[in-house]
Structure 1
Amino acid sequence: MDHRFVPVAGSVYYAVWCQAETQLHHQVPKLALGKITAVRELVGECVWSQFDDVTKQRFGRHVRANLEHFGLLFVRLQGTMSLYQRSAVLVRTA
């Protein structure tokens, strides 16, 4: 797994980042096959709104660099937002 975008453990955004990853891991298996969505929708607005703009971009890059870890497939860009769908093969790491 590529960790280059993850904030340092003492960072203000580290706990929120961990919440966002956990939420993503819980929501991706519930996503219907073929449904296209953004990371923001999967993570949820209440968690997403706690990030600043730079951290939102870094989290998006982290997801894009680790698609198989999250069980997602990149579909397309819509403006500056990446859209994903659930992979047919979900990879779960403990």
Structure 2
Amino acid sequence: MNDMQTSAWDKVSEALKVNAAKLLPGQERKIRAIIGETLWEPLQHKNRKLFGKHVRADLSYYGLVFVRLAGTIAVYKKSCV
């Protein structure tokens, strides 16, 4: 990952953590929807995939739980814990 992608990754990671905390209980969203298009768009396709894997591996850090798959895209909701 180059410096620009690293910076975009950090911004996306922080936005996901903050916005996930703002989700209403029971509200389901895809990562892209939680983060927002303006921050998600600068990430390259391969880095979006890697970020999704990163989130799945560390759901508690972001305060999320896996709900289901919408096709091949994971859907999450705010953790109650």
TM-score tier after normalising by the smaller chain length: over 0.9
Q: Which one scores higher on RCO, CA 8 angstroms, separation ≥ 6? A: 2
Q: Which runs of 5+ in 2 are unaligned?
A: none
Larger radius of gyration: 1
What is the percentage of aligned positions where both structures have the same residue?
A: 33
Q: How many residues align?
A: 81
Q: Secondary structure at the match of 1:64?
A: helix
- Equivalents in 1 of 2:79, 2:60: separation in Å? 8
Cα RMSD (Å) of the superposition? 1.1
Q: Which runs of 5+ in 1 are unaligned?
A: 1-6, 90-94
Deviations 1:54-84 (A, max 9, x none): 0100011100000011110000111111000
- Equivalents in 2 of 1:11, 1:81: separation in Å? 27
Runs of 4 or more consecutive aligned structure 1 residues displaced over 3 Å after TM superposition: none
Matched letter for residue 17 of structure 1: W
